């Protein structure tokens, strides 16, 4: 007894293979599908951004521990710095060194400088 294979089987199999390949290509090229490594990179970047966003207000709070007169003087000095040196200014003042840490964080200093500059315009 011979098994008869329907005529549509071969085109159906090829259609499934081509469809799967196209879905894979479109998914990866549009960013709808990512590899495990890319997903890990995205998670790491998101975690780093969340940490910076959470810690920058601590930096501003350390600045606000100054007396009002000192705050005004420091904001004036910060505003006088070139935009690419403001993070160095914040680091030098010690505001970007988080409680429990011995070293300042440059990314937090950059965000903190930006928040402090916002205080000069308000």
How does pLDDT run along the chain (122 residues), one tens digit per residue?
A: 677 878 888 888 888 999 899 988 887 788 777 788 888 888 988 999 999 999 999 999 999 999 999 999 999 999 999 999 999 999 999 999 999 989 999 999 999 999 999 987 75
Question: Hey, what's the torsion of the CAs at 107, 110, 112, 113, to 10 degrees?
Answer: 170
Across the strands, what pairs with 97?
104
Q: Can you give the pLDDT at residue 3?
A: 79
Please state the pTM of the whole predicted model: 0.67
User: What is the Cα–Cα distance from 86 to 84, expressed in whole angstroms?
Assistant: 6
User: What is the Cα–Cα distance from 57 to 7, expressed in whole angstroms?
Assistant: 69
Q: What percent of the chain has pLDDT over 90?
A: 55
User: What is the Cα–Cα distance from 105 to 109, expressed in whole angstroms?
Assistant: 6
Contacts of 69 (CB under 8 A, 6+ apart): none
């Amino acid at each position: 007894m011979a098994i008869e294979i329907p005529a549509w089987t071969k085109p159906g199999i090829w259609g499934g293979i081509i469809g799967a390949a196209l879905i894979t290509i479109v998914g990866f090229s549009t960013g709808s599908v990512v590899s495990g490594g890319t997903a890990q990179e995205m998670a790491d970047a998101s975690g780093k951004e969340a940490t910076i966003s959470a810690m920058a207000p601590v930096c501003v709070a350390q600045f606000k521990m100054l007396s009002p007169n000192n705050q005004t003087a420091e904001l004036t000095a910060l505003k006088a710095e070139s935009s690419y040196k403001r993070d160095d200014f914040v680091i030098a003042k010690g505001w970007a060194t988080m409680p429990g840490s011995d070293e300042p964080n440059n990314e937090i200093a950059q965000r903190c400088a930006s928040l402090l500059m916002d205080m000069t315009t308000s």
